[in-house]
Amino acid sequence: MTTRRSVVDLTYYDRVYGGESFGQRLRRLREARRLSQRDVASQCEGVSYAHVSRLEADHRMASVRVIRELAAALDVTAAYLEYGYERDDELRRLQNRVEELLAQLESATNGSNHA
């Protein structure tokens, strides 16, 4: 039996890790463009304004197709809409952090060898 994570769990995850939820990001982007839920829905094939409303309230999870449609309507990448950052940016940040940690480890190792 597989367990499904609820929308509440996903919202909690976003709060714990300092980000906004998908719904919060969707609403922020829509409002920044001065668009109504109906305006956004009308630019997305097969998406109703009620569905946009439920997504913004984090009561539903968007499919990949809907994320792509919404992203195009809001003129952002699907990755940004879904995650709140561009994946390449996050990858670079993580690579830089790994390099910093390796340098610290090397420094600590060299320092203990000379003692």
Confidence band (pLDDT; 50, 70, 90) for 37?
A: very high
Q: Which SS3 state, helix, strand or coil, does residue 25 take?
A: helix
Residue-level pLDDT at 109: 84
Whole-structure pTM value: 0.63
Confidence band (pLDDT; 50, 70, 90) for 43?
A: very high
Q: What are 105's two structure tokens? A: 């480890």
- Asked whether 85 and 18 are in contact (CB, 8 A), the reply is no
14 sits in which H/E element: helix 7-16
DSSP 27-71: HHHHHHTT--HHHHHHTSTT--HHHHHHHHTTSS---HHHHHHHH
pLDDT of 99 above 50: yes
Mean pLDDT calculated for residue range 9-18: 47
